[in-house]
Amino acid sequence: MEDFFGLLGPILQSTVRNATPLVFAALGGLFSERSGVVNIGLEGLMLISAFAGVVGANLSGSAFIGLGTAVAAGLLFALIHALMTVTFEADQIISGTAINLLALGGTGFLMVAIFGSGGTSPRIEGFESVAIPVLSSIPLLGPALFDQSILVYLMYVLVPVVFFVVFHTPFGLRLRGTGEAPEAVDTAGVNVARMRYYGVGLSGVLAAFGGAYLSMGLLSAFTENMTAGRGFIALAALIFGRWNPIGAAGAALLFGFAQAVTYSVNEQAIPIEFIEMIPYVLTIIALAGLGGRAIAPAAIGKPYRKE
Amino acid sequence: MSDRVAGDGASSKGAPPVLEMRGVTKRFGAVTANDGVSLTLGRGEILGLLGENGAGKSTLMKILYGLYTPDEGEVFLDGERVEIRDPKDAVSRGIGMVHQHFTLIPPLTVAENIVLGAEPRKGLSLNLEEAVRATEELSERYGLKVDPRSRVADLSVGVRQRVEILKALYRNVRILVLDEPTAVLTPQETEDLFAVLKELVADGLSIILITHKLGELLGVSDEITIIRDGRVVDTVDAADTDEGELARLMVGREVLLRVEKEEVETPGGVRLAAENLTVRSSTGALAVKGVDLEVRGGEILGMAGVDGNGQTELAEALAGTRPVEGGRVFLDGADATNLGADARQERGLAYVPEDRGTKGLVQDFALYENNALKTYDEPPFSKWGWIFPKVMRRRAAEALRAYDVRPADPEARAGSLSGGNQQKAVLARELSGDPGVIIAAQPTRGVDVGAIEFIHGQLLKQRAEGKAILLISLELEEVRSLSDRILVMYAGRIVGEVGPEATDEQLGLLMAGRGVEEKSA
């Protein structure tokens, strides 16, 4: 029994840590996709933000300023995606892919330009874990949930906030409408392009939190391609969670748990490649219709052109 | 109810008209869609706007709704000149529009759809209870029955239209424009709609009703403005005109409103038959529940019924584009149940699908490509896996001319044609192969008078040549005037057979499912 708890505690803590960037990015993707714009550029947005955060923190010596530069970078590149897909009606997959490639190449290049070498950046001032008194001493769950960086706490708050915004505010109604039937929203006098800019912009901000958590929460440095596919896993969580914030967060926790298990058990026991497969297999299952099909917003991927 | 003197035309004394459009011109490149169009709408009046597809009605209304900017001309609301920038502006000025293709969001509820863009709030959040309450109040006041909490996706077309009207009323419109509102309605639903419209004008609203159906305008509108080729031909008092005059004004020539059906000698052998046919719909529900039918050579078998009672699935199962759950299909006596659509077509089955836009034509293909869509893999269009576009073009040119498709240009993109011409293009393809059996589903839906006349004539010509024709239609008048026998379908079953002399009432009762008990007992 001792052994079990001894193993489970760290696994749970690691689950939350693995899931946090996925939740942020999935919530971001949710805003974008609910407005009708596919954002496979989440991966790139996270990577750019992770890098920008480290640069900001490195120059200023403040983690909060680093977070600010991360969000600014995420927003900026998301708006580029919006400009391409909403204003110029470019293919959303191609634009997203361009952002991913740009992020990978751009951060690699800027690493050398700013820090003098590729690979890993200098250590910066990150967000340390802050144990919440009392709550963090709950056995097992306490350390897992309440001895984390403040970005994790922000994530806890954002999940219900996003749920409220999407399903209980006029903004959310318009956003969902825009992703389902933009012409209906348009004739109701709501500006479709503006709603999509909001959706994509918010995806950049939220993905930036995820990226900042990677380089300033989990680690205190930027390493090349440190997102390592998390943007795509976040998209998988979004789909598996049926474009619902609670569902997406649950899926992200599940994926985070799978990762945590691999890290903690003997590598020979379960091949890590097998665990890495899980999010995608579950996504395929969700899309194929097990337990009710995952149905995407109807107008997703299609540029809206006024007559 | 109106402060206007009857028949005083554009210059009303006292209060200015609610809406006046003066000399409106709109060009798209070389095409002039509206050429100096003027019309006047009085308060509490229903103005019919009549014209064939492509005459410029929709363009004019899009100008009114701020979707297009006119090149010339002026718009006056209550005598005051206005420029309507966009739909939002139009709505804020009290103009509402019910589009032909509904602008509703299927996964959202009725109340959510109605308040979208003008949501009641409670603090930061959306006040859904208030939205539901407002919907209920409006729906009660005007007799537009609808459940505010149901999802739009679960509603029938008629109810969706009510939601559209409620959406406009919620925004306090004074002028309501309805674009072809009856195109998707059954006769009963149409009557209900007109009753609601009369209630609305009694309440002070003014309505513009766009349509190409002559008869219904006479019963409901006060004045009728007829547009042809982008110009106003005339404005007439609904009380002083008749269908014949309207048709002539609209088309520019005399039109046969009644089809002349010649007697055909006793029909030939059974060419198309279904035996205890059961078919599932796309959602998996049983849509056709054991249908038996026989169509003989030289007869038109009409299939009447309210939309959504299994006619679509029946037609698709007979054509081979939808799998059969149980029962059998026979073509010229041979079992065709397990044959695909291609094999059935090779055995002489022609199929005019009800949705020409998505199932009848590839919108982005040229007409010659569409014309070869079913036979591209057979000579003379193809040999040894090689296709011959030249032959396709030549054949298409002949067929398009024979079926009066305008333009008769094989290179024209299908999507660039009007609804009536698209339908004629489908007919050209399906009938030019000299088929023995024809399934025509809603062959004249959304098609103008001139094209209807032509299509009806073609079907009767095929009948005279001894073809077996199954005509599925929601238009009672069409079924009655063309068919030799009429079956009525209700809830997936054939609930009765009547002759073409059956009255509206008889058919209406069957269509509503009365008499099912006797049949299934």
> Least CB-CB distance to B119: which of A173, A181, A186?
A173
Residues B451, B453, B457, CA angle at the centre, nearest 5°?
Answer: 115
Per DSSP, A87 falls in state: I
**Grouped pLDDT means (10 residues each) for chain B, 521 residues:** 40 75 89 90 93 82 90 94 90 89 89 93 92 94 90 85 92 92 75 90 93 81 91 91 86 69 76 94 86 94 87 93 93 92 91 86 91 85 89 91 86 84 89 90 82 89 92 88 92 91 82 58 35
**How far apart are the CA of A238 and the nearest CA of chain B, in angstroms?**
18
Cα of A50 vs its chain's centroid, Å = 12
Closest-CA residue in chain B for A299? B105
- The torsion angles phi and psi of B313, rounded to 5 degrees, stand at -65, -35
Q: Which of A201, A166, A168, A4 is nearest to A86 (CA)?
A: A201
- Please answer whether residues B116 and A190 qualify as being in contact, where contact means their C-beta atoms are separated by less than 8 angstroms: yes
- Tell whether B392 is covered by a domain: no
- Tell whether A87 is covered by a domain: yes
Closest-CA residue in chain B for A163? B125
Assign residue A99 the CATH number of its domain. Answer: 1.10.3470
- The torsion angles phi and psi of B214, rounded to 5 degrees, stand at -75, -50
pLDDT in tens, A56-74: 999 999 999 999 999 999 9
Is the CB of A284 inside 8 Å of chain B's CB atoms? no
ipTM of predicted complex: 0.86
In this structure, the answer to whether residues B63 and B190 fall within a common structural domain is yes
In this structure, the answer to whether residues B304 and B445 fall within a common structural domain is yes
- Contact check, Cβ <8 Å, B108/A164: no
- Tell whether A307 is covered by a domain: no
Boundary-marking domain end, from B132, B150, B166: B166
pLDDT in tens, A106-130: 999 999 999 988 889 999 988 988 9
In this structure, the answer to whether residues B339 and B281 fall within a common structural domain is yes
Tokens, residue B27: 């060009």
- Contact check, Cβ <8 Å, B117/A190: yes
- Tell whether A305 is covered by a domain: no
Given strand B468-472, what is the order of strands in its sheet? B349-352, B437-441, B468-472, B299-304, B485-490, B493-498
What's the pLDDT score for residue B259? 66
Give the count of domains, chain B: 3
- Tell whether A3 is covered by a domain: no
In this structure, the answer to whether residues B274 and B237 fall within a common structural domain is no
- Tell whether B467 is covered by a domain: yes
In this structure, the answer to whether residues B88 and B106 fall within a common structural domain is no
Give the count of domains, chain A: 1
- Tell whether A297 is covered by a domain: no
Reported in sequence order, the residue ranges of chain A that DSSP labels E, i.e. its strands, are 129-131, 147-149
> Least CB-CB distance to B117: which of A180, A189, A298?
A189
- Contact check, Cβ <8 Å, B112/A173: yes
Closest-CA residue in chain A for B98? A187
- Tell whether B288 is covered by a domain: yes
Evaluated on CA atoms A87, A89, A93, A95, the torsion sign reads negative
What's the pLDDT score for residue B256? 62
Boundary-marking domain end, from B217, B250, B283: B250
- Tell whether A182 is covered by a domain: yes
- Contact check, Cβ <8 Å, A187/B103: yes
Helix (H) or strand (E) holding A127: none
Which range marks the domain in which residue A277 is found? 10-288
What's the pLDDT score for residue A266? 64
Secondary structure of B37-80 in HEC code, one letter for each residue:
EEEEECCCCEEEEECCCCCCHHHHHHHHCCCCCCCEEEEEECCE
- Tell whether B71 is covered by a domain: yes
Q: Is the pTM of this model over 0.80?
A: no
Give contacts of A168 with chain B, Cβ < 8 Å: 125-126
- Tell whether A298 is covered by a domain: no
In this structure, the answer to whether residues B456 and B354 fall within a common structural domain is yes
- Tell whether B371 is covered by a domain: no
75-114 of B, contacting A, C-beta below 8 A: 86-88, 91-92, 97, 99, 103-108, 112-113
- Contact check, Cβ <8 Å, A189/B67: no
- Contact check, Cβ <8 Å, B105/A185: yes
Closest-CA residue in chain B for A173? B116
Q: What is the C-alpha to C-alpha distance for residues B330 and B337, in angstroms, rounded to an integer?
A: 7
In this structure, the answer to whether residues B183 and B233 fall within a common structural domain is yes
In this structure, the answer to whether residues B457 and B356 fall within a common structural domain is yes
What's the pLDDT score for residue A267? 62
Which range marks the domain in which residue B246 is found? 19-94+173-250
Which of the residues A165, A187, A194, A304 would you substitute to probe the B interface, choosing the one with the greatest number of B C-beta atoms within 10 Å?
A: A187
In this structure, the answer to whether residues B30 and B141 fall within a common structural domain is no
Q: Residue A143: how many CA atoms within 13 Å on its side-chain side?
A: 11
- Tell whether B376 is covered by a domain: no
- Contact check, Cβ <8 Å, B108/A177: yes
Give contacts of B68 with chain A, Cβ < 8 Å: 307
What's the pLDDT score for residue B1? 39
Assign residue B72 the CATH number of its domain. Answer: 3.40.50.300
Give contacts of B62 with chain A, Cβ < 8 Å: 307
What's the pLDDT score for residue A189? 83
Which of the residues A173, A174, A176 would you substitute to probe the B interface, choosing the one with the greatest number of B C-beta atoms within 10 Å?
A: A173
| Tokens 């993109």 belong to residue | B413
> Which range (A254-263, A278-287, B287-296, B345-354) has the least confidence?
A278-287
In this structure, the answer to whether residues B317 and B455 fall within a common structural domain is yes
- Tell whether B308 is covered by a domain: yes
In this structure, the answer to whether residues B279 and B350 fall within a common structural domain is yes
What's the pLDDT score for residue A43? 97
Boundary-marking domain end, from B166, B186, B211: B166
Which of the residues B89, B98, B116, B119 would you substitute to probe the A interface, choosing the one with the greatest number of A C-beta atoms within 10 Å?
A: B116
- Tell whether A294 is covered by a domain: no
In this structure, the answer to whether residues B69 and B195 fall within a common structural domain is yes
- Contact check, Cβ <8 Å, A169/B108: no
